[in-house]
Amino acid sequence: MLGVTNLEVVYDDVVLALRGVSLEIPDGAIVALLGANGAGKSTVLRSLSGLLDVHNGKIRKGGVTLDGEPIGQLRPAALAKRGIKHVLEGRRIFKEMTVEENLRVGAHSAPRDVKENLGRVYDLFPRLVERKDGTAGYLSGGEQQMVAIGRALMSGPRFLLLDEPSLGLAPKIVAQIRDIVVEINRQGTGVLLVEQNATMALSIAHHGYVMETGRVVMDRPAADLLADDDVREFYLGLHTEGDEKQSFREVKHYRRRKRWAS
């Protein structure tokens, strides 16, 4: 079980990005983390993977725990060794290296199982086998996302933190990525999925959290969130009453409070 409790994170000593966030990722579950831009989703991931330092962020209160043990102060290398792997937003593959070199860098914290993990990643992404000696920067967006996810899997992580894996991808590719996340989870890896594409995230998650301006405002099983009127309206773009009939004028007049917190 990976979790954060009452986490407060400050960037540059002044910007309060998280104001007491608590959430947990049970082993083998998919947890979705939804929210608008700037809600603090990526900051949660950085606190879990130890990458706050890079952005001059600090945990001011609360803590990060793995099986009850505090891990908030550990370095990224130590966290990767304990099985927490972070797939950064925007893919961030090593563009000038080949696909296979990218994957082998991902195996940095598990050098003994390179062969086995390489086989597993190539099974998950058969597309990458053909491109394995090609320069990674020349791959399509979807393939680059596969490299990014595959790279993280190369150390056989216990928890995978995915930051917007559907960013900038065609709907068909998004569906592929979704199936891959389900498959990774089926093989026993816990997944924390940060997404703007809430429909996709909630369709595969077991549990979901909704964040707003540094707070968790909703914490329900994914199925409940999918059925929730507010979530449907704000995040899924769906309305409960007959969608067809509603004209744009009515939409404009239709004002509701868009924030739970405050």
Partner 1 sequence: MNEFLTATGQGMGNGAVYALLALGFVIIYKSMSVISFAQPAFMMSGAVLVSHLTGRIGFVAAVVVGTIAIALVALVVERVAIRPMVGKAVFVIAIITIGIDIVVRTVAGAFVGVNQLLLGDPWGLKVVTVGGVQLQERHIAAILAAAVVVTVLFLFFRYTRIGLAMRAASLDQEAAMAQGVSIGTVFAVSWALAGGLAALAGVFAASGNAFDQSLWMVALVALPVIILGGLDSLGGAVLGGLIIGIVESVVRTYHSTWFPFLDTNTGGIAPYIVMLLVLLVRPHGLFGTKEVERV
Told to check if 94 binds partner 1 by CB under 8 A, we report: yes
- 109, 117, 145, 197: which one binds partner 1 (CB under 8 A): 109
Say how far apart CA 256 and CA 233 lie, in whole Å: 10
Report phi then psi at 84, rounded to 5.
-110, 115
Told to check if 165 binds partner 1 by CB under 8 A, we report: no
**Span of 19-27, 75-83, 170-178, 237-245 interacting with partner 1 by CB under 8 A:** 75-83
Residue 161: other Cβ atoms inside 10 A: 27
Largest distance between two CA atoms of the chain: 63
> How far, in whole angstroms, is CA 137 from its chain's centroid?
22
Told to check if 178 binds partner 1 by CB under 8 A, we report: no
Say how far apart CA 44 and CA 8 lie, in whole Å: 10
- 8, 24, 101, 224: which one binds partner 1 (CB under 8 A): 101
Told to check if 76 binds partner 1 by CB under 8 A, we report: yes
Q: Is 197 helix (H, G, I), strand (E, B) or coil?
A: coil
**Span of 32-40, 60-68, 91-99, 177-185 interacting with partner 1 by CB under 8 A:** 91-99
Told to check if 120 binds partner 1 by CB under 8 A, we report: no
Angle subtended at Cα 182 by Cα 135 and Cα 164, rounded to the nearest 5 degrees: 55
**Span of 46-54, 179-187, 195-203, 229-237 interacting with partner 1 by CB under 8 A:** 46-54
Return the number of the residue (6 or 56) whose C-beta is nearest partner 1. 56
The two tokens of residue 150 are 């595959």
Told to check if 43 binds partner 1 by CB under 8 A, we report: no
- Could you tell me if 59 and 7 are in contact, meaning their C-beta atoms sit under 8 angstroms apart? yes
What minimum distance in Å lies between the beta carbon of 140 and partner 1? Answer: 19
What minimum distance in Å lies between the beta carbon of 55 and partner 1? Answer: 8
Report phi then psi at 227, rounded to 5.
-90, -15
Residues engaged in binding partner 1 (CB under 8 A): 49-51, 54, 75-77, 79-81, 85-88, 92-97, 101, 104-109, 111, 151-152, 154-155
